Amino acid sequence: MNDIQDATSPGAALGGPVACVSKVELRVACKALLDRDTLNKSDPCVILMVQNQGQWTELDRTEVIKSNLHPVFAKVFTLDYYFEEAQKLRFEVYDIHGTHSIGTRDDDFLGGVECTLGQIVAQKKMVKPLFLKYAKYAGKSAITVGSPYSSPYRFRSPLDLFSKSDPFLEIYRINDDGTEQLVHRTEVIKNNLNPVWEPFKVSLISLCSCDEDRKLKCLVWDSDSRGKHDFIGEFYATFREMQKIGGGSKVTWDCINPKYKLKKKNYKNSGVVILSDLKVRANLYSSCSVAIDFTASNGDPRNSCSLHYINPYQPNEYLKALIAVGEICQDYDSDKRFSALGFGARIPPNYEVSHDFAINFNPEDDECEEIQGVVEAYQNCLPKIQLYGPTNVSPIISRIAKLSAGEETIKDASRYHILLILTDGVVTDMADTREAIVRASYQPLSIIIVGVGNADFTDMQILDGDDGVLRSPKGEPVLRDIVQFVPFRDFKTASPAALAKCVLAEVPNQVVEYYSHKAICPMPPVPSCDSPTSLANTPTESLPAVGTTA
């Protein structure tokens, strides 16, 4: 993860572990906004709101872009990102009149949308329609929010040979249909012939859709405060070209103004753009599996006292725990599909006891679509099985650990597994479970156990290892602590978010520990020049005069 630091999360007040916080940057653009002005187009500004204890408060806002219904904002929103929390955001778009103050009139409001920070981070780029009051669509208006949190790379581009301009650089990705999408706009460097723009980060998905040969169109402009920027020149690049940097060498492109190239016989360029630093960081994806206890100690599902009783008016404890944790996990699951397993039941057609079966009864494909698919498979499964026993969890742990071990063959492994086990009581195969966890601690895997009901969970506390290092029956210690246990009864009166926060808070640190031990850095830099070098102003031809209007 990026810029990870320890911070005290609200979960600490509930006795939870110290949370892991990262900085996330969000970039915003809008399309087809409503035109509220009579004489000119709307002057849009986006307000970022965050929800805290049920109340919406403003966190930050973009700049105002004059007379534009399709604005691409340069402002970057920076937020603290907690993996284990559902951080609710709201983006509101307003038409600004004269000052940066937001009007109270309904006709100043161009639309808004709500989402979670986790959804943005997981999707990398989120596009949603804007809504007015009473859930009414704001015409065809839409907002795009992008996060460069995953796979960021950094580069600095000194621009040489521009005549007394206020230059800035724009990078566009050329899509498959030929359209162009703005990826990044640098800051303006005032009155500078050799500007060095600040380093910036952008995801590879945003930059080139992970296609190293995709064309990038780069434009250099002379800034005008009225928005009528003067065109200096352009060049085309690819990410593959950018990666040629290294060993003290830089990558350069001639900045060409097509109009001057046609008019001037000896025209060579309007300057040179130099890429002097590039760092590439690898992506990290999670894969989630769920294992549910179907032993007889849960009680007959037809009886209202059973932990598996399906109440038409409210979910049982298994469903509450499954939904609370699963809805957070699915934001980070790369394909939104969960491996859904069961243990401790007699299953059709022969009704033999199984400690590792697919609850959709499809052994060839045990995955369900999103957490709602797991809920439906669970509810459909209950009438078809016989709750039995014993409570053996080692087979499922060994199965998922074996699946995780497949990542070991990949040098720059980028998939991490999370196993959620929901159980009501004492583990029968404690020795085998300890052995399985010790073996699993060497794999890219974290295990979350939620205890349902009021049984004695002493064995689970031992597996958690918070009170001492977990060891196998032969005395071998775990390589790292990968188990987090939480009794659901401690969160009966708390919100679902509080449970999810507590059980997931240790996962980011467990990810870092795994990759550190394996010497597989999730964010490895490619060879690059340690620091940019200023270029001498040695033009082969003077740049035609470009007016500078500040």
How do residues 483-497 score in pLDDT, each as one tens digit?
999 999 888 888 888
Check residue 204 and give its pLDDT. 75
H-helix or E-strand containing 305? none
Check residue 364 and give its pLDDT. 93
Per-residue DSSP letters for 96-125? --SSSPPP-SGGGEEEEEEEEHHHHHHHSE
Of the pLDDT bands very low, low, confident and very high (cuts 50, 70, 90), residue 532 is very low
User: What percent of the chain lies above the pLDDT cut of 70?
Assistant: 82
C-alpha–C-alpha distance, residues 471 and 462, integer Å: 10
Which of residues 16 and 361 earns the better pLDDT score? 361
Nearest to 96 by CA among 42, 147, 144, 146: 42
Contacts of 325 (CB under 8 A, 6+ apart): 420, 448, 450, 499, 500, 503, 504
The per-residue b/e assignment along 12-43, b for 16 or more CB within 10 angstroms, e otherwise, is eeeebbebbbbebbbbbbbbebbebeeeebbb
Task: Report the chain's C-alpha Rg in angstroms.
Answer: 28
**77 neighbors 48 (Cβ within 8 angstroms):** yes
Q: What average pLDDT does the segment 299-320 reach? A: 92
Check residue 89 and give its pLDDT. 95
pLDDT exceeds cutoff 80 at 411: no
Check residue 24 and give its pLDDT. 85
* pLDDT per residue as tens digits for the range 259-307: 888 888 888 888 889 988 887 665 566 789 999 999 999 999 999 999 9
Check residue 103 and give its pLDDT. 55
C-alpha–C-alpha distance, residues 174 and 207, integer Å: 9
pLDDT exceeds cutoff 90 at 452: yes
Taking every pair of Cα atoms in the chain, the longest distance, rounded to a whole number of angstroms, is 90
Q: What average pLDDT does the segment 421-446 reach? A: 93
Of the pLDDT bands very low, low, confident and very high (cuts 50, 70, 90), residue 100 is low
* pLDDT per residue as tens digits for the range 7-60: 333 333 333 444 456 778 899 999 999 987 777 788 899 999 999 888 999 999
Tell me the residue ranges of DSSP E strands in 255-331: 272-275, 277-280, 285-293
Q: Look at the alpha carbons of 228, 233, 239, 242 in this order and tell me if their dihedral is positive or negative.
A: negative
Q: Counting Cβ atoms within 10 Å, is residue 260 exposed (0-12), middle (13-18) or buried (19+)?
A: middle
Q: Distances from the Cα of 370 to the Cαs of 163, 397, 498, in angstroms?
A: 56, 21, 21
Whole-prediction pTM: 0.56
Which of residues 4 and 451 earns the better pLDDT score? 451
* pLDDT per residue as tens digits for the range 145-160: 987 543 333 333 333 3
Residues composing the chain: 550
Residue 131 φ then ψ, to 5°: -120, 145
Q: Look at the alpha carbons of 472, 475, 476, 479 in this order and tell me if their dihedral is positive or negative.
A: positive
Nearest to 66 by CA among 31, 97, 88, 102: 97
Check residue 439 and give its pLDDT. 96
Of the pLDDT bands very low, low, confident and very high (cuts 50, 70, 90), residue 398 is very high
Contacts of 186 (CB under 8 A, 6+ apart): 157, 168, 169, 170, 197, 198, 200
Check residue 36 and give its pLDDT. 76
C-alpha–C-alpha distance, residues 205 and 315, integer Å: 39
Paired tokens of 290: 């769920």
The per-residue b/e assignment along 163-179, b for 16 or more CB within 10 angstroms, e otherwise, is bebbbbbbbbbeeeeee
User: What percent of the chain lies above the pLDDT cut of 90?
Assistant: 42
H helices of 220-364, where?
A: 239-242, 258-263, 317-329
pLDDT exceeds cutoff 60 at 81: yes
Strands 445-451 and 415-423 come out as parallel
Check residue 99 and give its pLDDT. 58
Nearest to 40 by CA among 65, 64, 68: 68
C-alpha–C-alpha distance, residues 426 and 448, integer Å: 16
Check residue 460 and give its pLDDT. 86
Check residue 66 and give its pLDDT. 85
pLDDT exceeds cutoff 50 at 538: no
pLDDT exceeds cutoff 90 at 240: no
Contacts of 523 (CB under 8 A, 6+ apart): 2, 152, 281, 282
* pLDDT per residue as tens digits for the range 87-98: 999 999 998 876
Q: Look at the alpha carbons of 436, 437, 442, 445 in this order and tell me if their dihedral is positive or negative.
A: positive
Q: What average pLDDT does the segment 435-456 reach? A: 93
Instruction: Write down the mean pLDDT value for the chain.
Output: 81
Which residue matches tokens 């008016």? 313
* pLDDT per residue as tens digits for the range 188-239: 988 886 888 998 888 777 888 778 889 999 999 988 877 778 899 999 999 8
Paired tokens of 321: 């725990």
Half-sphere exposure of 357 (CA within 13 A, CB side): 22
**172 neighbors 217 (Cβ within 8 angstroms):** yes
Check residue 234 and give its pLDDT. 95
DSSP conformation class of 36 = -
pLDDT exceeds cutoff 60 at 515: yes
Q: Counting Cβ atoms within 10 Å, is residue 513 exposed (0-12), middle (13-18) or buried (19+)?
A: middle
Check residue 158 and give its pLDDT. 37
- For 68, other C-beta atoms within 10 Å of its C-beta total 17
Q: Hey, what amino acid is at 350?
A: N
